């Protein structure tokens, strides 16, 4: 079974709808991240969380919110989706221990906002 899972894998929605993307991990990592990927723009950080009570904005948090329900779960919400939020969204995890900075990614959610 995959260590980092994302649901749904694909979603098509309409402008103005509320959407939640979910991420779960079995790696036992404290740190979790949400990125979006757009062609030609690479990966951009939306939000990140170092533990259940520590949530931080990334470089493009406007229009998004997150919830860290447990160490293993980190959800991303679009309160009122707009077409320019059409993108590929990735969740990633990272162990907080010293000496390692590797992030582990889920398979992604492809979101289309019409």
Partner 1 sequence: GDSVTQMEGPVTLSEEAFLTINCTYTATGYPSLFWYVQYPGEGLQLLLKATKADDKGSNKGFEATYRKETTSFHLEKGSVQVSDSAVYFCALVDAGNNRKLIWGLGTSLAVNP
Site membership for partner 1, residue 47 (CB under 8 A): no
Taking the complex as a whole, the smallest distance from the CB of residue 103 to partner 1 amounts, in Å, to 6
Distance between CA atoms of residues 101 and 4, nearest Å: 16
Cβ nearer to partner 1, comparing 50 with 75: 50
Is 60 a binder of partner 1 (CB under 8 A)?
no
- Regarding 42 and contact with partner 1 (CB under 8 A), the answer is yes
Strands 10-13 and 109-113 turn out to be parallel
Instruction: Kindly state whether residue 41 participates in binding partner 1, applying the rule CB under 8 A.
Output: yes
- Binding segment for partner 1 among 14-22, 39-47, 61-69, 77-85 (CB under 8 A)? 39-47
State which of residues 11, 77, 105, 112 lies at the interface with partner 1 (CB under 8 A). 105
Q: What does the block give as tokens for 65?
A: 């919110």
Give yes or no for a contact between 81 and 19, defined as CB atoms under 8 angstroms apart.
yes
**H helices of 4-71, where?**
none
Residue 43 binds to partner 1 (criterion: CB under 8 A): yes
Q: Out of 20, 45, 60, 72, which residue is the one contacting partner 1 (CB under 8 A)?
A: 45
Closest by Cα among 18, 16, 39 to 88: 39
3-state secondary structure of 83: helix
């Amino acid at each position: 079974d995959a260590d980092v899972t994302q649901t749904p894998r694909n979603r098509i929605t309409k402008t103005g709808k509320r959407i939640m993307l979910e991420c779960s991990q079995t790696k036992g990592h404290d740190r979790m991240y949400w990125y979006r990927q757009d062609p030609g723009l690479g990966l951009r950080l939306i939000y990140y969380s170092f533990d259940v009570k520590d949530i931080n904005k990334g470089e493009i948090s406007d229009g998004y919110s997150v919830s860290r329900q447990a160490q293993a779960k980190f959800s991303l919400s679009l309160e009122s989706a707009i077409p320019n939020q059409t993108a590929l969204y990735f969740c990633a995890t990272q162990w907080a221990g010293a000496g390692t900075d590797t992030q582990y990614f889920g398979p992604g959610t492809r979101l289309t906002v019409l």
